[in-house]
Structure 1
Amino acid sequence: MNKKITDLNSRNDKSGNPYALKVLGIGSSMRRESFGTETLRIVLKKVGENGAKPQLLNMFENPLPIYSPENDKDNPNIRKATDLVNWADAFIIATPDYHGSMAGSLKNFLDYFWSEFAGKTFGYICSSHEKGLTVMDQMRTAIRQCYGWSLPYGISINSSTDFNERRQIINKQLVKRIDIFARDLVVYGSLINGQFKRDLNSTIGNSYAVHYRR
């Protein structure tokens, strides 16, 4: 396992609970010093402080080939992404705003999966000079098609106004929103995923979870 991921877990998992919500952050920026991915790390730390188990998948460090059904599943980057997606109970997706849409690297990541997202809660972070509202709407649409659940709000950052030259957040409203976002993702993500798992393991027939039973 990536040492950075291991360190993130050891620092942030405060619960000691083996059933704690497992949260995977997806950093999709292809910039080495991405403010979006930096914000994602801060949020994941807060998620850990709220009792969840966080991990980070940084697409800059683990790029995926353009999706094709013929891709070699033994590709180490595909295998790593797949293992982490299967591990996760909830997700936080971070992307830059490119022409009012998500980054191509993120759309490519999403193309690899669908049933793995069912019954899991998603939160969204967007780096944008225009709040990234259309970007978040597009991410919600993609996840809704996979029967995932989304927080009704997201986090938008503007690196030129929210951070100082030392890459520290100076926007107090952003700090407050990150605290709320991390708490809500853990609380509602646990409720939704817990119920979804109970429905999977039950015999009830009037739930969409029926379609995901094995």
Structure 2
Amino acid sequence: MTDPQAAVPRPHIVGIGGTTRAGSSTERLVRAVLAECEGLGARTSMFPGPELLAMPHYNPDDPERSEGQRAMVAAVREAQGFVIGTPGYHGSVSGLVKNAIDLIEDTRTDPRVYLDGCPVGQIVSAAGWQATGVTLSALRDIIHSLRGWPTPIGIALNSMVQRPFDAAGELVDEGLATATRLQAAQIMAHVSGTRLHRDAEALAARA
């Protein structure tokens, strides 16, 4: 007997973020959420800080795009959910991450504009709780402007008091590990609910 679930494509969750340093705590936390999403049935793509650094400044007046820019826009177009991670710089997201987010403007004339209807996990690392809080708020505002749905769980890492990874790069802070699992579950639950709603609409249209 054919498994009816076998024909259902796995949802695609895209991670964007990090710092200019490969393997930063921000990047590792984004990857941790993506790994949890994979455990729940997703396939994932990651655009870490060093790849974002190689992207030119977003210029809406210049249609030319680098290979990295084209790859990110293509991933955004086929994704059903996102995880965005940024360091907190001076009360907001870093220029590196904001430049990547601005590139999503290339989807403005797509059938699905920007991140419309998609769940978006948020991750911030900063030197202090005030910096993590205001940056999470700024990131949520950006997600709202892109028509996305920020997950209720936002992950904040205070680098002044938390050392979440061991020497091997494993996440050992149980509080943050729990938050990554919860955020992934919220992303995947939203994706599943959206898919069920669209399936129901399609059935109703054929009835």
TM range (shorter): 0.7 to 0.9
| Distance in 2 of aligned mates of 1:142 and 1:193 | 24
Q: How does 1:129-140 map to 2 (within 5 A)?
A: 129-131=127-129, 132-140=132-140
Partner in structure 2 of residue 50 of structure 1: 40
| Distance in 2 of aligned mates of 1:77 and 1:123 | 22
- Choose the corresponding residue for 2:188, options 182, 186, 208: 186
Instruction: Assess, with a 3 A threshold, how the Cα gap between structure 1 residues 43 and 147 changes in structure 2: closer, same or farther.
Output: same
Q: 1:62-104, CA deviations, whole angstroms, 9 ceiling, x for partnerless residues? A: 4321111233434212211111111111100011111121111
Q: How does 1:150-169 map to 2 (within 5 A)?
A: 150-159=150-159, 160-169=162-171
Q: 1:158-195, CA deviations, whole angstroms, 9 ceiling, x for partnerless residues? A: 45432233333221111122111111111123323654
| Distance in 2 of aligned mates of 1:179 and 1:149 | 18
RMSD of the TM alignment (CA)? 2.6
Instruction: Assess, with a 3 A threshold, how the Cα gap between structure 1 residues 16 and 135 changes in structure 2: closer, same or farther.
Output: farther
More strand by share: 2
| Distance in 2 of aligned mates of 1:117 and 1:182 | 17
- Choose the corresponding residue for 2:26, options 5, 22, 36: 36
Conservation of the 8 A alpha-carbon contact between 2:153 and 2:182: no
- SS state at 1:151 partner: strand
Structure 1: where are the runs of 5+ without partners? 1-14, 204-214
| Distance in 1 of aligned mates of 2:199 and 2:150 | 17
- Choose the corresponding residue for 2:67, options 68, 76, 84: 76
Instruction: Assess, with a 3 A threshold, how the Cα gap between structure 1 residues 137 and 197 changes in structure 2: closer, same or farther.
Output: farther
- SS state at 1:168 partner: coil
Structure 2: where are the runs of 5+ without partners? 106-112
Runs (4 or more) in structure 1 with deviation over 6 Å come to 196-203
Conservation of the 8 A alpha-carbon contact between 2:27 and 2:49: no
| Distance in 2 of aligned mates of 1:201 and 1:16 | 20
1:67 aligns with 2:58: yes
The total of aligned residue pairs comes to 189
- SS state at 1:91 partner: strand
Partner in structure 2 of residue 116 of structure 1: 114
Letter in 1 for 2:100: F
* Bigger mean CA offset, 86-95 vs 188-197: 188-197
| Distance in 1 of aligned mates of 2:24 and 2:32 | 13
Instruction: Assess, with a 3 A threshold, how the Cα gap between structure 1 residues 202 and 79 changes in structure 2: closer, same or farther.
Output: farther
What is the TM-score normalised by the length of structure 2? 0.80
| Distance in 2 of aligned mates of 1:16 and 1:106 | 36
| Distance in 1 of aligned mates of 2:34 and 2:98 | 21
